Amino acid sequence: MDDLRGHETWRIFRIMSEFVEGFEELSTIKRGVSIFGSARLSSNSFYYKKVMEVAELLSKKGFSIITGGGPGIMEAGNRGAKKGKGLSVGLNIEIPKEQYSNKYQDKRLDFRYFFARKVMFVKYSVGYVITPGGFGTMDELFEALTLMQTGKIRRFPIIMFGKDYWNGLIQWMKDTLIHAGTISKEDLNLFTITDDPEEVLRVIEESYEKQHAPVKGNRRKKD
């Protein structure tokens, strides 16, 4: 029992170290856009190519691209960032299968704990692009939606890219969740769905400019 307690105590320090390293390494990122999607899609897939296009467009406009650092869609995001001459960041995770580090990262961090990694995505992003993926992608999507719905984080664009892939889920939300009263119609305004890389750029740029517009104070007229 004492050994178990000691082990758990040391785990706390490992968790702390991941937060400290993440905050220190990512503190200079001001215009990060996180792209999520499947590790299983090959470089020949339609969505791989589209994600490269999205990442390149964003990078050319001065946004940094943040992914999970692995293969598939994550690689496409980092690869597109490099092509667009922008900063390419990978937040890698230690898991038994599918995850290996892609070669298109300018800045790489390695995480053992998913929850520490999630904090970095949220903290250093001004937008999320959710592309076709599995449970991990769904996890990132619904966690961000939950945090915004409950007012725990600031509002930023969540863009679900790929209408054919996501329409069934959106329809289920409408038919089941709204019908049951477990979410409201207004909650569907927390995200945008599109097939157009240019619209992804437009939505994120407009949101960023709105959030960072100078506040106009009321000037008092001279007597």
pLDDT digits (tens, 9 = 90+) for 7-60: 778 889 999 999 999 999 999 998 999 999 999 999 999 999 999 999 999 999
Mean pLDDT of 97-103: 81
Q: In this structure, what are the phi and psi dihedrals at residue 174, rounded to the nearest 5 degrees?
A: -70, -50
Looking at the chain, the whole-number percentage of residues with pLDDT higher than 70 is 92
Give the side-chain half-sphere CA count within 13 A for 204: 32
Per residue in 165-219, pLDDT (tens digit) is: 999 999 999 999 999 999 999 999 999 999 999 999 999 999 999 988 876 654 4
The Cα–Cα gap between 213 and 202 comes to: 16
SS3 category, 134 = coil
What's the confidence (pLDDT) of residue 5?
Answer: 58
* Domains with residue ranges and CATH for the chain: 27-210 (3.40.50.450)
Q: Return all residues near 19 (Cβ < 8 A) that are at least 6 apart.
A: 116, 119
What's the confidence (pLDDT) of residue 69?
Answer: 96
What's the confidence (pLDDT) of residue 223?
Answer: 34
What's the confidence (pLDDT) of residue 6?
Answer: 57
pLDDT at 144 over 70: yes
Per residue in 109-141, pLDDT (tens digit) is: 999 999 999 999 999 999 999 999 999 999 999
Q: What share of the chain is helix, strand, coil (3-state, %, to 5)?
A: 50, 15, 35
